[in-house]
Amino acid sequence: MYDLELIINGLHNIEKSLLHIIDRTSWIETVDDFLKTPSGVDALDITAIRLMAVGEEIKKIERRSRSELLSQYSEMEWKNIMGFRDFIAHA
C-alpha cells in the first residue's frame, strides 16, 4: 500500500497548478496571443512552468503508488503527460 496522504497532496498540487494556468491565461484567445505582448510571453512562461509541475507531480504519484494508481485510469495518457514535462524541461 502507498501513502494516501502524499498522493492526495500531489493531486491538490496538480489542481492548484491547473487552476493557476486557467486564471493567468483566461484572456488568451489564440496561440499568437502568447507571443504578441510581454504579458503574453509571461503567460506562456507561467503555463510552461506549471505544466512541468503537473508532469512532475504525476511522476511522483506514479512512483509513490508503485505504478498501481495511474494504471487504474488507463483512459488517461499518463506517459504522454510525463513525457510532455520532459519535453518542456529539456527541449
Percent of the chain with pLDDT over 70: 100
State the pLDDT at residue 91. 84
CA distances from 52 to 1, 57, 68 (A): 27, 9, 22
Record the pTM.
0.89
Q: Which of 19, 76, 29 is nearest to 53 (CA)?
A: 19
* Domain boundaries of the chain, sorted by first residue: 4-90
Compute the distance between CA of residue 84 and CA of residue 15 in angstroms, rounded to an integer: 17
42-55 confidence digits (pLDDT tens): 999 999 999 999 99
Contact 13, 57 (CB under 8 A): yes
